[in-house]
């Protein structure tokens, strides 16, 4: 069984930091779903060891690359 705790922590952390940097982004913005999918895919592809801090860093970088039009 896969432990989703590091993934959930990473998503929450990256989203919280992103929203702090971008005050105009709503909590229900579609980018959060994209973030979750991206990090889940990274973890499943074993591109990272699943550490929450590493995943959060990857997630924040991913969000910064997204434009509002991709949501």
pLDDT given for residue 60 in this prediction: 95
Domain that holds residue 46: 5-18+28-65
> Does residue 39 belong to any structural domain of this protein?
yes
pLDDT given for residue 51 in this prediction: 85
> Does residue 70 belong to any structural domain of this protein?
no
Q: Is the pLDDT of residue 2 over 60?
A: no
> Does residue 71 belong to any structural domain of this protein?
no
Q: What are 7-48's pLDDT values in tens digits?
A: 999 999 999 999 999 999 999 999 999 999 999 998 877 655
Dihedral of alpha carbons 53, 46, 34, 69, sign: positive
- Total domain count for the chain? 1
> Does residue 23 belong to any structural domain of this protein?
no
> Does residue 53 belong to any structural domain of this protein?
yes
Burial-class residue 13 by CB neighbours within 10 Å (0-12, 13-18, 19+): middle
Dihedral of alpha carbons 25, 27, 29, 35, sign: positive
Burial-class residue 57 by CB neighbours within 10 Å (0-12, 13-18, 19+): middle
> Does residue 47 belong to any structural domain of this protein?
yes
> Does residue 32 belong to any structural domain of this protein?
yes
């Amino acid at each position: 069984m896969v432990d989703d705790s590091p993934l959930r922590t990473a998503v929450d952390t990256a989203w919280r930091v992103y929203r702090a940097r971008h005050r105009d982004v709503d909590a229900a913005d579609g980018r959060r779903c994209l973030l979750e999918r991206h990090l889940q895919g990274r973890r499943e592809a074993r591109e990272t060891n699943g550490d929450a801090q590493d995943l959060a860093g990857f997630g924040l970088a991913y969000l910064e690359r997204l434009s509002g039009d991709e949501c």
